[in-house]
Structure 1
Amino acid sequence: MMLLCCPGNLLVFYIYFDRWRKTTSRVFIIALALFDLVNGFVTTPTELAFMWNIFRWKDAPICKFSRFLTFMMNNASSFTLLGIAIDRYMRICRPLNPSMTTKSAKIWVFVSCFAAVLFAWPALVIYGIQTIPYPIPKTPYVAVGKTCLIEDYFNKTKYPLVFTIVVLSGNLIIDTVLITLYTLIAIQVIKRGSFDRDRDSSVRKKLRKASTSTTTTEDGVLEDPKSNNEVKGSSMLERFSKKFHGSIKESESSKKDEKQKPPQSPSRRRSNFRRQRSLSIQSEEARRVRMIKTTVMLFLVTLLFMVSFIPYCVIVIYRYVNPTYYFTLSTTGKGVYQFFLRSYLLSMSLNPVIYSFMSEQFREECKYGLKKLMFWKKK
């Protein structure tokens, strides 16, 4: 998971930070990539160290900080995914209402980090070194081990159980809200069919007027990289400049032709108007197609995050019911147990895979970045 997470999320951060326009989705994806990078570079190596010294760990401060950081990053990801779902819901189900801006998205991420700390700080107190009696197989003897878990002092109190109930209940509430919002989004998309072709002209004019605002068109350019003057050698930039200069020349020549041409007949004017209206509707539908694709991609990221937490939650609940269950497992069973106890780390490594599969432009930017890196190495 580290081998996938670290380079994958570094690539995601570079592309969305340096090559993408400023949109709400960009803000949220960069935040998720940063949270995953912290898990990849800090949490995962520490977890490997814990498992390598599973009954020989004696460093309480590292244990406390690692558990706190893990809960904080996962809580921050949960709140960020909630912000993504609200943003998607407003854009698709409430297109005429004001949508979330990049500034409000940044505020949401900041508040998510604050709320994550608020719910994670008890881990700094209750986690630490726990003394575990480990029965030696086929002997009457019992070994004493030290591991990173609930501290001995708090192990006999109700605080760990209260903390676990709060964390699991919070995840359940957020998951319920996420499922509800994406269900409403799916219902709305199904109702629209082929993107509002049968909608009456008055509503279509309102939608077209709303689509020209910054909040609605922000999402439409998510699939396009940032056309920055500082980024040179990009084939997409060259194509854009050619089209741009070509359109200017065409518009200038068309103005000269219009002065020379005689006035058009009413039927010809109606035909031109219908053609322009058809092109406007097509561009509007293209923007909505991109919005739906982005929503599906972010929904898959959310779904992966929720599913990856299920094994962890089941094991934690069962561990409170039957504390000695782990010692009854075989060596293979203990390995499987340890892996699924950390199943929440799956999302950090698979998010870049989802971006690469769902976004063609993301793949193109990855190829461009790799070619640029190879050229720099040769130079």
Structure 2
Amino acid sequence: MIGYNISTPELSMTIGDIDKQDIGAYNESQFQVFLPAFILLCGVLIIGTPGNILAIFVYKCKLRKHIGREFLITLCVCDLLSCLLVGSFEMDLMRQVFDYDREWVCKLFRFFSYSVNNVSSIILLVIAVERYRVICCPWKAKFSSQASRRICYLCVLASTAYASPMFIVYGTQTIPLRTNSTRSDIDIIDHKDHVSTTERSPTAPLFGKTCQMDDDVIETQFPLYISNMYLITMLIEFILLLYLYSRISLTLMRRRKESMCQQTNASKRCANKRVRKVTLTAIVLTLFFVLCYLPCLVTFSIRIWMPKYYSTLSVFGQQLFELMLKFYQLDSAVNPFIYCFCNQEFRGVLLKYLQCLTKDSSQSMTSKEVYEQTTDKKPASLRVNITDNDGISSPEAIPLT
């Protein structure tokens, strides 16, 4: 029986142990490339998780129910899942990128990641369509709360179905880390005769395992077709969002000019102002979505169409490349700040809730009292029914906020 050991003055290790150490060294080296993206994901996890939890609470516990609330709650849930689960998976993968031989974990998380991102993008498109119907086609029927909820369910089903090819595309990919061209001193030990000799022998090839395009499909055209399908879909969505919000902005500008030339009552002016604020929130959400996803789509396209380009980059170039690939995650952490900045009512409810949490424990309140204070509950006699230009009559009804 003959075994191969690499001897040092202090210890002898098997080839398998050396391979593990070598893979660990490759992981550490590659992690330096991932470091800026890793820091970004840490920030997204720390900021986005509590931010989206608070956003879900505010929209879920508001007393005044209104059209569009379901869309924003769905978007907040997707952002929370993206920050908490998808971001954690990506960070775990970065720490052991060449030693990640977990095929089904890879398939499930890639499928989950694409599904969550699909839901977010479709919900933003639905919000744009809802704003377009309210502002540019006010004679059409508005989405009811029940219809909005059903639309959210359909978006989830369609997104998961659209992401199902990821089960086939992604999996364990074998990456050659070292060829057998390198030579090293190896002690050949005959355990039977207790004889040790030293020879210069080729170092064994070293292969890493990572979560990427599966080995079974990497040589086929299927990953290219699926990737191109996603890129074309996102491009079409960007064009639709640009068209819808261009029409919405032009309509709002025209109405504002007309209202400046005409005398309108206070309630109608207040309703028009609310419509503009709601639309501004939707536009800012969409703008940040496009800005965060665009760098990812560009680098993803380069990786698909020019696979050898990455190896030609310097270390800084590779760091920038990886950062752009993960830049879409920033959108999940930014959205709660957009709600707070663009929506005065959201900001007021959130501040009241935080004030309740910071009260002295001796002045503890029941959950019902906290709910009533944070939702600014008022007696029915004090509520003011306002009919806005959407044709919706409700106590200070706001379609999207």
Please state which band the TM-score falls in when normalised by the shorter chain: 0.7 to 0.9
1:24, distance to aligned residue in structure 2 (A): 2.4
Pick from 45, 51, 59 the counterpart of residue 16 of structure 1.
59
| 1:318 paired to 2:302 | yes
| Residue in 1 that maps onto 2:50 | 7
| Residue in 2 that maps onto 1:251 | none
In structure 1, what is the Cα distance between the partners aligned to 2:89 and 2:254?
48
Runs (5+) with no aligned partner, structure 1: 200-277
1:360, distance to aligned residue in structure 2 (A): 2.0
Q: 1:20 to 1:181 in 2, by over 3 A?
A: farther
Pick from 101, 104, 124 the counterpart of residue 61 of structure 1.
104
| Residue in 1 that maps onto 2:75 | 32
In structure 1, what is the Cα distance between the partners aligned to 2:169 and 2:320?
26
| Residue in 1 that maps onto 2:214 | 151
| 1:188 paired to 2:248 | no
Trace 1:1-379 onto structure 2 (pairs within 5 A): 1-134=44-177, 143-194=206-257, 196=259, 198=261, 281-375=265-359, 377=361, 379=364
Counterpart secondary structure, 2:285 = helix
My pick for the range that moved more, 46-55 or 20-29, is: 20-29
1:198, distance to aligned residue in structure 2 (A): 4.8
Q: 1:147 to 1:197 in 2, by over 3 A?
A: same
1:20, distance to aligned residue in structure 2 (A): 4.8
Counterpart secondary structure, 1:375 = coil
Q: 1:19 to 1:376 in 2, by over 3 A?
A: farther
In structure 2, what is the Cα distance between the partners aligned to 1:185 and 1:67?
35
Q: Identity over the aligned pairs, expressed in percent?
A: 30
Counterpart secondary structure, 2:259 = coil
Instruction: Report how many residues are paired.
Output: 299
Q: Contact 1:128/1:149 (CA < 8 Å) preserved in 2?
A: yes
Q: 1:35 to 1:376 in 2, by over 3 A?
A: farther
1:135, distance to aligned residue in structure 2 (A): 6.0
TM-score by length of 2: 0.70
1:366, distance to aligned residue in structure 2 (A): 1.6
Q: In angstroms, what is the RMSD of aligned CA positions?
A: 2.2
In structure 2, what is the Cα distance between the partners aligned to 1:198 and 1:357?
30
Instruction: Encode CA deviations 1:78-102: one digit per residue, 9 max, x unaligned.
Output: 1111110111011111122222222
In structure 2, what is the Cα distance between the partners aligned to 1:351 and 1:154?
36
| Residue in 1 that maps onto 2:15 | none
The structure with the largest helix share of the pair is 1
In structure 2, what is the Cα distance between the partners aligned to 1:355 and 1:51?
31
Instruction: Encode CA deviations 1:35-89: one digit per residue, 9 max, x unaligned.
Output: 1111111100000011111111111111111110111011111111111011101
1:111, distance to aligned residue in structure 2 (A): 1.0
The structure with the largest strand share of the pair is 2
Counterpart secondary structure, 1:47 = helix
1:305, distance to aligned residue in structure 2 (A): 1.1
One-letter code aligned to 1:337: F
In structure 2, what is the Cα distance between the partners aligned to 1:62 and 1:192?
53
Q: Contact 1:20/1:26 (CA < 8 Å) preserved in 2?
A: no
One-letter code aligned to 1:24: I
One-letter code aligned to 1:345: Q
Instruction: Encode CA deviations 1:220-257: one digit per residue, 9 max, x unaligned.
Output: xxxxxxxxxxxxxxxxxxxxxxxxxxxxxxxxxxxxxx
1:197, distance to aligned residue in structure 2 (A): 5.2
In structure 2, what is the Cα distance between the partners aligned to 1:314 and 1:162?
17
1:25, distance to aligned residue in structure 2 (A): 2.4
Instruction: Encode CA deviations 1:151-194: one digit per residue, 9 max, x unaligned.
Output: 01100111111111111111111111111110000110111124
Q: Contact 1:195/1:288 (CA < 8 Å) preserved in 2?
A: no
Q: Contact 1:195/1:285 (CA < 8 Å) preserved in 2?
A: no
